Structure 1
Amino acid sequence: MDLPQELVDTILDNIHDDVPSLKSCSLAARTFVISARKHIFKKIEILSSSDAAQRFYELLCSSPHIAPLVEDLCITSVLEKFSVTCAYLDPSGDYMSGRALSLILPLLTELIRISIIETGDVHNRSGREFSRSWNKMEPPLQSVLANVFSSPRLEAVHLCGFVLESPCHLLSLFSEAAALKEMSLSRLYFTQGEGRPEPWPESQLWRPKLQSLFLNVFSTDLCQYLVNPHIDLTHVRTLTLATSLPEQRKKMVQATQFRLSRGVEHLGLYLSYNFEQTSYLFTTNLRSIHLHCNSMFELLGVFVQACPHDSRLEYVTLDTPAGVLHFTEIPELHTAIDATVAHLPALKTIEIRWIVVEPSNAFTQWEVDIQTAFSSLVRRGMLHLTRIAWRGLGGLYPPGWE
């Protein structure tokens, strides 16, 4: 096969996420091998099997050219409640207790993204009892992970389902990661009591300049650390807060507005049962907002009152649980929304996501009701309606909020 290498590269770039096709292409001709291999090994996922980690380590040893290709590593395990209760983890069934992972990580010298996710059991992924104690990991693995987290190449990290000593312990793991731009922290718990946080060491610098921050951590102490002047959040452009604590939300949003910050451009808030008056959300540069609230009427009502007429807002996404909604009972809300939208020249889309746990045919009727109620948005071509499937018992939060 005599094709220019540039054409081969373009073909494989277009199917970069189709691993079966990439494998087939790599077998078709030698000219495909290098480009296909680059995409195949760019992202590696190690699931809850010690055999998987061991096999991957053996592959890296036998084919050392593969390790530099890995840029994105996702490590996922399922920690059963039985194992936690008995304080026992069988090394043959839990790779976090084995040696393979601590041997793999030092070989991945080009790693720029890492996710370490402890999912809990399949029926309940929340709670401290379904989270892994950081300090109970093998010391070699702790040391290797600390080196990865402080790497000058690391750009993104996702940590989920762990118990650590304190927010200071957590943030100090990343304090040297000068290239870190994205941080996602979910279901993290701390052994030190709330309200008595140890002070952030004044001599310890915070080098990351985060552009994206996702928090699903119910800790006021962590919030206090993140709004500390030594923790620079002024570069954050995408902020997502899955917390029911209004004061924590306000502090976090305001912490991104200090000094020369241009402010958050993309904001997500999981509001649970209420939507308090939060005019502070609508900063000058806010371009998109994603809100979840179990009471969509209250959400819409407060939203249209708080949104300023000179807002640069372009995209609005509203999540609502499936249920019976009677739109005809609140005509004043329809009028308020129509009036607000008329004064938002930058607004392009309002998407309402209907979140369902069980399969249902009610979405069609719900869609008709929404379109009828907000016919002015339909005429403007702004209204988008989406059905989102959620496993329910698999976690507390719908997709995008865990």
Structure 2
Amino acid sequence: MSHVLTPFSKSFQPELEEQFIDELCDNVFSLRSCALTCRAWRIRSHLHLLRAIRIGDSDTLNGVYDLFHRYPSLALCVRSLATDVYCVTSESTGAGIVHTPRIADLLNLRRLIIQLSDASGWKARHVSFHPAYLTALRIHPRIEQLCLFNLKLSSYEGLMQLLAALPNLSRLECSNLSFENLAGVRPGSVFLRRHVPIRTVVVCGLTYSTVDSC
């Protein structure tokens, strides 16, 4: 018995099209294909692609904030933000400075990733967090998950300041995290000033080296 293949109709009901796209919400490659090839699905695909964004250099940073400045409602789509540290550096100190104070505009942000890209080839002595960045985190109401990947911090205190700046943090993930110096650090002096309700901690590759003072 032969079957005749009947092609799909040229268009579906908008509600059905949106359900198709929603089913692909975790498949970035499929969403990109939909956004590039199907005009009817482009807007819905773009909204899902904005759920998780990565800022790898200063040009991307400026482009993202320019987009959100022109279309403020799109900033509400972002749930996860990954920032490569090497995009903003200090030549005088050799330190990577994490400084994106406009993170406060991402009101629905739930997951924050701070990482050093292996592909950058940039070697920093350590990473520090700009005071304006910590201030922006303190007033952010919804960040629940923090991921730190391939970072070298100057001391344990820098990590405690970052954690204390996130009032609703419930999950912490650290991979290949190292410290230059842990000598003479009192964690409680920074960390206990503010209660952080962390329920889950995932650590992989935590190291430190003590630097002798002259």
Mapped contact 2:83–2:113 kept (Cα < 8 A)? yes
| CA displacement at 1:149 relative to structure 2 | 6.3
Flag the 1:71–1:149 CA change in 2: closer, same or farther, 3 A: farther
* Aligned residue number for residue 115 of structure 2: 117
Cα deviations by residue, 1:212-260 (Å, 9 ceiling, x for unpaired): 4224221499xxxxxxxxxxxxxxxxxxxxxxxxxxxxxxxxxxxxxxx
Tell me which amino acid in the other structure corresponds to 2:185. P
What SS does the corresponding residue of 1:106 show, helix, strand or coil?
helix
Structure 1 segment 77-156 matched on structure 2, within 5 A: 77-78=85-86, 87=93, 101-103=100-102, 105-119=103-117, 130-134=124-128, 139=130, 142-148=131-137, 151-156=140-145
Mapped contact 1:42–1:70 kept (Cα < 8 A)? yes
Structure number with bigger Rg = 1
How far apart in 2 are the matches of 1:109 and 1:40? 17
Q: Calculate the aligned-residue CA RMSD, in Å.
A: 3.6
Structure 1 segment 104-253 matched on structure 2, within 5 A: 105-119=103-117, 130-134=124-128, 139=130, 142-148=131-137, 151-175=140-164, 177-194=166-183, 196-201=184-189, 204-219=193-208
Cα deviations by residue, 1:16-44 (Å, 9 ceiling, x for unpaired): 22232231476226xx73x3333021111
TM-score by length of 2: 0.70
Flag the 1:162–1:122 CA change in 2: closer, same or farther, 3 A: closer
Mapped contact 2:134–2:165 kept (Cα < 8 A)? no
What SS does the corresponding residue of 1:197 show, helix, strand or coil?
coil
How far apart in 2 are the matches of 1:200 and 1:184? 21
TM-score by length of 1: 0.41
Give unmatched runs, 5+ long, in structure 2. 1-10
Tell me which amino acid in the other structure corresponds to 1:153. R
Flag the 1:20–1:213 CA change in 2: closer, same or farther, 3 A: same
Mapped contact 2:153–2:180 kept (Cα < 8 A)? yes
Mapped contact 1:117–1:161 kept (Cα < 8 A)? yes
Cα deviations by residue, 1:319-372 (Å, 9 ceiling, x for unpaired): xxxxxxxxxxxxxxxxxxxxxxxxxxxxxxxxxxxxxxxxxxxxxxxxxxxxxx
How far apart in 2 are the matches of 1:144 and 1:173? 9
| CA displacement at 1:154 relative to structure 2 | 1.0
How far apart in 1 are the matches of 2:79 and 2:204? 24
Flag the 1:41–1:120 CA change in 2: closer, same or farther, 3 A: closer
| CA displacement at 1:132 relative to structure 2 | 3.7
How far apart in 2 are the matches of 1:65 and 1:159? 28
Tell whether 2:56 aligns with 1:68: no
Mapped contact 2:146–2:172 kept (Cα < 8 A)? yes
What SS does the corresponding residue of 2:207 show, helix, strand or coil?
coil
Q: Percent identity?
A: 18
Tell me which amino acid in the other structure corresponds to 2:116. E
Tell whether 2:51 aligns with 1:42: yes
Mapped contact 1:120–1:130 kept (Cα < 8 A)? no
How far apart in 1 are the matches of 2:91 and 2:192? 39
| CA displacement at 1:172 relative to structure 2 | 3.4
| CA displacement at 1:190 relative to structure 2 | 3.5
How far apart in 2 are the matches of 1:57 and 1:73? 13
Q: Aligned residue pairs: how many?
A: 195
Task: Give 4+ residue runs of structure 1 displaced > 4 Å after superposition.
Answer: 83-89, 120-123
What SS does the corresponding residue of 1:52 show, helix, strand or coil?
helix
* Aligned residue number for residue 12 of structure 1: 21
Flag the 1:74–1:112 CA change in 2: closer, same or farther, 3 A: same
* Aligned residue number for residue 13 of structure 2: 3
Tell me which amino acid in the other structure corresponds to 2:172. M
How far apart in 1 are the matches of 2:195 and 2:53? 29
How far apart in 1 are the matches of 2:196 and 2:85? 30
Tell me which amino acid in the other structure corresponds to 1:8. E
Flag the 1:203–1:65 CA change in 2: closer, same or farther, 3 A: closer
